[in-house]
A and B are shown apart, each in its own frame.
Chain A
Amino acid sequence: MSLAAGPGRGGGADTQLPDELALVVEKQVAYIQSLDKRRDELEYHLTEHLRISGVYWGLTALHLLRHPDALPRDGVLDFVFSCLRPNGGFGAAPGHDAHMLYTVSAVQILAMTGGFEELETRFPNGKMRIAKFIADLQQPNGTFAGDEWGETDTRFLYGALNALSLLRLLHSQRTDEPPLINVSAATAYIKACQNFDGGFGVAPGRESHSGQVFTCLAALSIAGELDSYLGEEGKDRLGAWLSERQLPSGGLNGRPEKLVDSCYSWWVGSSLAMIGRFHWIDQKKLTRFILQCQDPEQGGFADRPGDMVDVFHTVFALTGLSFAGYPELDEVDPA
């Protein structure tokens, strides 16, 4: 799965009138499929450090497009297992160090393709070993490191909860066993990341950012504390900040005074959906902005009209369209 940009640009042919903006489903599917055949490009190798996440994004896009089988399942699983390290974590590609982010991507792929049985066959007790790798990265203050080097980030915390939940190994999913991680310490850390403006940052004190709002809300949601922590008043306040991310072009940005970007359709959109306030933004304008980021000739979405398309923006643009109720797309689960 190539993470290289291009070949096309969002917006494509200039002749396209706004009224004719429509999702080109077949071309989008073909675009994702083509990503696996671009190994002759230097950028394919330069993005090796993200490879397994690229596979996850591509697969998610295909599920949304209702073509879940457009990538060969066996090939995907072979690749995933080739990234597994003896310590139970996954690297981004074969030979790479295990890291939380890629372990989460691997678990997400296994969940999406129903690959847990193969995991157990190839790697006995695999689910528990992955869970142990994740649990060992929890720090005394509740947060999670990405790897043995100790960098922490709320993304890792959310990833840990998400992966354990997909593995069905959270304490709430198996109450008769001792817990693998300290969930209440994790959520206490998340709460410490909430800022004076109502948003959340990557660590306590860090500027609010829609990407971090998403990871914090999703973590609270998986832990079952979203409603009790925020309450209606907290949701209103956060919803106000999130809906303020929509600019007159219809697109969404990540923080005040920054450019709009199609990938925030996911970070902002799913956050608003989790707190039941997606309808506070203008969905028609958002749909139109996202479709302007599409390359109607060769498929793919860019961050903004006129830029090169890539798989990351493609999947998150599609989720935005799905949230906004675009037909021909499957519904997404916000967390």
Chain B
Amino acid sequence: MPKYADDPTWADIVPLPTDEGGPNPLAAIAYSDDYSETMSYLRAVMAAKEHSPRVLDLTEDLIDMNPAHYTVWLYRAETLFALHSDLRAELEWLNETALAHQKNYQIWHHRNLIVDRLCGEEQGVVDEEGLWKAECEFVEQMFERDAKNYHVWSYRQWLVRRFGLWGPVELEFTERMLARDLRNNSAWNHRWFVVNGRAEMEGDGGLGVEDPEVRAREVKFAMEAVAKTPQNQSPWNYLRGIVRKTGMSLGHLKGFAEQYASLKEPDEVRSSFALDLLAEVYVEEKKAKEAGEVLDLLATRYDPIRKHYWQYRKGLLGVEGAAAA
């Protein structure tokens, strides 16, 4: 049943079917699909450079059917801007669309364009705080469905940078996310970003973990997470990130690592990441024999799939002047 061919609103348009592949009997069947018909109307309006309200209807229809078609999004944005359309209404519509199409990333790029335009166009008029709060709320709603969606996290970071949200409210948000799932590596990454991003990327003050108080707070935060989930690589990586960035000695973490893995109780290891860290501590202490024993435990018992990696690490001990058996 053709949707557009019988619609008087579209009677002036000669649809442009795709010319892909040239004459092909099978292709003819596909043109009976709604989607192909709708696309042929889009091609026609694009060829005529038409920007009108009905183009918004047409692109909405197409996006509902196939949100991954980047050309449709671009033409929709162009049309919205040309018509000076109500961009808040566009955001409302995007909420529904994003919830219906979780995996799509064009939606987020489009949203980005709209919010940016809204702030630029109505500068001084628009309630920026109200806008970012609503955006943050919507993002959190998205995370209820998929808390690791890469595109949504990208958008969240964009909001933080665009509106300067480097404060405690955003930190609390990462805590809410991690309270739901301590293994959410995306949330850990976001925490690092909120704590250090200003110093690393904006260059306008803030020391991140290089501030001793912040460092103590973040080390404690990661350690508490390890206590709840010892075999969770995210907080261990976070700790190592702090060590690396601040030049803090690994020795400070020895006692902590030994709570989860120790050479004295090789049968009671609760975390392969603790073993890994312990091996490095021993290297720092120039105890190559102990380091080798820890690496053996990893290669043979606690992470055998990466046996070659652990053996390589053990091989490096030889350089330190110790006997690598």
- The CA of A96 and the CA of B19, in the complex, are separated in Å by 11
Nearest chain B CB to A49 CB, angstrom units: 5
Is B68 located at the chain interface by the 8 A CB criterion?
A: yes
Nearest chain A CB to B200 CB, angstrom units: 7
Is B186 located at the chain interface by the 8 A CB criterion?
A: yes
Report yes or no: A240 in contact with B186, Cβ–Cβ below 8 A: no
- The CA of A41 and the CA of B238, in the complex, are separated in Å by 47
Nearest A residue to B241 by beta-carbon distance? A196
Chief secondary structure at chain B's binding surface: helix
Is B77 located at the chain interface by the 8 A CB criterion?
A: yes
Complex interface bits, A208-241 against B, C-beta within 8 A gives 1, otherwise 0? 1100000000000000000000000000100110
Task: Kindly identify which residue among B36, B233, B234, B305 contacts A45, using a CB–CB cutoff of 8 Å.
Answer: B36
Within 8 A of B (CB), among A234-252: 236, 239-240, 243-244, 246-248, 250
Nearest chain B CB to A317 CB, angstrom units: 19
Chain A residues, CB < 8 A from B30: 39-42, 44-45
Report yes or no: A99 in contact with B185, Cβ–Cβ below 8 A: no
A93-B20, A97-B74, A196-B238 are known contacts. Are A206 and B305 too (CB-CB below 8 A)?
no
Is B150 located at the chain interface by the 8 A CB criterion?
A: yes
Report yes or no: A149 in contact with B113, Cβ–Cβ below 8 A: yes
- The CA of A150 and the CA of B77, in the complex, are separated in Å by 13
Is A94 located at the chain interface by the 8 A CB criterion?
A: yes
Report yes or no: A196 in contact with B184, Cβ–Cβ below 8 A: no
Report yes or no: A48 in contact with B241, Cβ–Cβ below 8 A: no
Is B153 located at the chain interface by the 8 A CB criterion?
A: yes
Task: Kindly identify which residue among A39, A204, A280 contacts B201, using a CB–CB cutoff of 8 Å.
Answer: A204
Chain A residues, CB < 8 A from B20: 48, 51, 79, 82, 93-94
- The CA of A279 and the CA of B185, in the complex, are separated in Å by 26
Within 8 A of B (CB), among A44-82: 44-51, 79, 82
Nearest A residue to B313 by beta-carbon distance? A236
Chain B residues, CB < 8 A from A51: 20
Chain B residues, CB < 8 A from A280: 306, 308-309, 312
Most buried by A among B20, B33, B77, B237: B20
Complex interface bits, B223-267 against A, C-beta within 8 A gives 1, otherwise 0? 000000000011001101110110000000000000000000000
Within 8 A of B (CB), among A265-311: 277, 279-282, 285
Nearest chain A CB to B242 CB, angstrom units: 8
Report yes or no: B71 in contact with A96, Cβ–Cβ below 8 A: yes
Nearest A residue to B190 by beta-carbon distance? A207
Nearest chain B CB to A264 CB, angstrom units: 14
| Segment from B3-11, B21-29, B91-99, B169-177 that makes contact with A | B21-29
Is B132 located at the chain interface by the 8 A CB criterion?
A: no
Is B66 located at the chain interface by the 8 A CB criterion?
A: yes
- The CA of A167 and the CA of B206, in the complex, are separated in Å by 45
Chain A residues, CB < 8 A from B197: 205
Within 8 A of B (CB), among A78-130: 79, 82, 91, 93-97, 99
Report yes or no: A99 in contact with B70, Cβ–Cβ below 8 A: yes
Report yes or no: B189 in contact with A208, Cβ–Cβ below 8 A: yes
Nearest A residue to B245 by beta-carbon distance? A196
Task: Kindly identify which residue among B24, B183, B190 contacts A39, using a CB–CB cutoff of 8 Å.
Answer: B24
Report yes or no: A209 in contact with B150, Cβ–Cβ below 8 A: yes
Report yes or no: B150 in contact with A202, Cβ–Cβ below 8 A: yes
A149-B77, A258-B148 are known contacts. Are A197 and B70 too (CB-CB below 8 A)?
no
Is B39 located at the chain interface by the 8 A CB criterion?
A: yes
Chain B residues, CB < 8 A from A45: 30, 33, 35-36, 39
Is B69 located at the chain interface by the 8 A CB criterion?
A: yes
Is A203 located at the chain interface by the 8 A CB criterion?
A: yes
Report yes or no: A207 in contact with B189, Cβ–Cβ below 8 A: yes
Report yes or no: A82 in contact with B19, Cβ–Cβ below 8 A: yes
Complex interface bits, B127-171 against A, C-beta within 8 A gives 1, otherwise 0? 000000000000000000000101001100100000000000000
Chain A residues, CB < 8 A from B308: 279-282
Report yes or no: A42 in contact with B33, Cβ–Cβ below 8 A: yes
Within 8 A of B (CB), among A150-196: 151, 195-196
Within 8 A of A (CB), among B1-58: 16, 18-21, 24, 26-27, 29-30, 33, 35-36, 39, 43
Within 8 A of A (CB), among B289-315: 305-309, 312
A39-B21, A97-B74, A256-B234 are known contacts. Are A248 and B150 too (CB-CB below 8 A)?
no
Task: Kindly identify which residue among A40, A97, A196, A248 contacts B26, using a CB–CB cutoff of 8 Å.
Answer: A40
- The CA of A168 and the CA of B241, in the complex, are separated in Å by 39
Task: Kindly identify which residue among A46, A97, A248 contacts B66, using a CB–CB cutoff of 8 Å.
Answer: A46
- The CA of A195 and the CA of B241, in the complex, are separated in Å by 9
Is A147 located at the chain interface by the 8 A CB criterion?
A: yes
Nearest chain B CB to A125 CB, angstrom units: 25
- The CA of A50 and the CA of B309, in the complex, are separated in Å by 38
- The CA of A151 and the CA of B201, in the complex, are separated in Å by 19
Most buried by A among B26, B77, B190: B26
Chain A residues, CB < 8 A from B26: 37, 39-40
- The CA of A94 and the CA of B47, in the complex, are separated in Å by 13
Report yes or no: B306 in contact with A202, Cβ–Cβ below 8 A: no
Additional pairs, 20, CB under 8 Å, beyond known A95-B19, A256-B183:
A39-B21, A39-B26, A42-B30, A44-B30, A47-B68, A48-B20, A49-B70, A49-B71, A94-B18, A149-B77, A149-B109, A196-B238, A203-B154, A204-B201, A205-B200, A236-B312, A256-B185, A256-B237, A257-B183, A279-B308
8 contacts between A and B (CB under 8 A): A48-B18, A49-B66, A147-B74, A149-B77, A197-B241, A207-B150, A239-B309, A277-B309
Q: Which 9 pairs across A and B sit closest by C-beta, in order of nearness?
A: A196-B241, A207-B189, A280-B309, A256-B185, A197-B237, A40-B26, A39-B26, A257-B183, A205-B193
